[in-house]
Amino acid sequence: MKKEVIIVFLLFLAILSINKTNAIGISPSSLEYNFVPNNKQECDFLIINNVKNEELNNLEVMIIVEGDLSEHINLEKTNAILPPNQWTPIKCELEIPNYLRPGPNEISIIVREISSSVGIVGTIAGVKMPITIRVPYPGKYLEGTIEIPTVELGETVEFRVNVVSRGDQKIDNVYTLIEIYDNNKNKITEIVSDSKSINPGGRLDLFSYWNTEKASAGIYEARAKIYYDGNILELSDTFKVGDFIVDILDISYKPIKVGETAKFDVGLKSYWNVDIENVYSDLEIYKDGNKIGQSKSSFIKLTKWGIGNLTLFWDTVGQEKGNYEGKFIIHYGDKTIEQTKEFKIKGKSFLEGNTTLAFLILVVVLLVVLTIFNIFILRKKNEKK
C-alpha cells in the first residue's frame, strides 16, 4: 500500500512540475558574444510569471548558473518574487576570462520556482537561457546554413547560403557550387555563386538562382559545396517545385463477391503549394466494353503537398461473376485525371446464401462424429471385459 501511495505522490509532483515550468518565461531566449579577453559584458534579462487568470498569485523563484564558466557570471540577485503577468528585470554581468578553448563555450542561467507543495520544500524544473561565448578557431573556418523556398513551376528558385567566419584569419575567396538532384537522385544541373571575401567573425550571404521552366513538379535536393581558400564546407537541403497537379498513387479494393457492395480506395498526392478544395472522383464500371454502372465519391480537401484518400462504393446486386473494368475520374479545380483498374467479381461458394443446407451438413457432420465416438467407447468397454 505504501508503495502505491509513493508512486501516486511522485506522479502528482511530476504533473505539478510541468504546469509550473510553463508558468515561467524568460527573455531573451539566448545570448551570444564574441570572445574578447578580460572583457566585461552586460547579460541582463527579464523573467515573468505567466499565471492563469484564476491563479493570480506571486511566484517565488531561484536563479542559478550552470556550466564550466559559472563563476564568471555575476547576478544582481539569486532569488526573486514574481508578481502575476509582469516582467521582472534581473541585472547580470559576464566577465570573460583571458583564455577559453576555441569554439562555442556555453553557460546556462536557469530560473526555477521554489515550491513548498504538500509540506515539502523543493525546486521545480525551470526555464533556461544559454549564454554562448564564441572563440575563433585557429586559421580559416566557416560555418553556414542554406535556405531554399518552395516555388511554383516556372518560377526561379533563390538559394541563400549564409556563412559566418569562425576562424581568426580573413578568408579572401568564398563561393558556392550547388548541385541539384531530382527525387530519383539524378543530377539535374549545377549553379555557381559570385565570389566574396569575409573577415573574422563576419557574416555574408551567397546567392544562386535556378529557373524551373524546364523542370517538373516534385521534391528536389540541393547539395551545396562552399569553397573558401582551399577548404570545403558541405551543406544540403530539400526543396519543392509545385504545380497544380494531383497524381493517383494507387487504387485498392478487397475481394468482391456477387451481391455484395464493392469498396474502392483511391490514394492521391498533391504537388500544389496551397490546399486544393472539393476534390472528388467519378467511377464508371464497364463489362465487355459496355458501361453498366457508375458511382461518385464524397468531396475531400487535399492539403498542400499532402496525401489524401477517396472512397467509392458500387452495389453488385444483379451482376454476374467475371472480369470488370473501373474508370476512375478525379476532379480537382478545372482539371481531371483518369486511371482504369481491372477487377473481378467472384461467385458465391456452394454454401453461401443457403443457410438451411449449411445447417443440415453441420448436423450430419456432428452425427458422424458422435457415432465414431460411441463406437470407440464401446470397443474400450469390450476390451476391459
Convert the pLDDT of each residue in 306-348 to its tens digit. Answer: 999 999 999 999 999 999 999 999 999 999 999 999 999 998 7
Averaged confidence pLDDT in the chain: 88
How many whole angstroms separate alpha carbon 201 and alpha carbon 170?
9
The pLDDT value given to residue 370? 77
- Which residue, 54, 92, 89, is CA-closest to 73? 92
Q: Which of 224, 208, 223, 226 is closest to 142 using CA atoms? A: 226
User: How confident is the model at residue 50, as a pLDDT?
Assistant: 85
Q: How far is CA 346 from CA 3, 33, 305, 316, in A?
A: 61, 75, 38, 11
Continuous segment of H or E residues that includes residue 175: strand 171-181
Look at residue 6 and tell me whether its pLDDT is greater than 70.
no
Instruction: Flag whether pLDDT at 216 surpasses 50.
Output: yes
Residue 2 reports pLDDT greater than 50: no
Q: Could you give all domains of the chain from N- to C-terminal order, each with its CATH number?
A: 27-135 (2.60.40.10), 142-242 (2.60.40.10), 246-346 (2.60.40.2360)
Using an 8 Å Cβ cutoff, are 88 and 61 in contact?
no
pTM of the entire predicted model: 0.70
Over residues 285-310, the mean pLDDT reads: 96
Radius of gyration of the chain (CA): 36
Mean pLDDT for the stretch of residues 270-282? 96
pLDDT at 170: 97
**Coil, helix or strand at residue 108:** strand
- Statement: residue 38 has pLDDT above 80: yes
pLDDT beyond 70 at 96: yes
Query: Which candidate, 285, 276, 349, places its Cα nearest to that of 314?
Result: 285
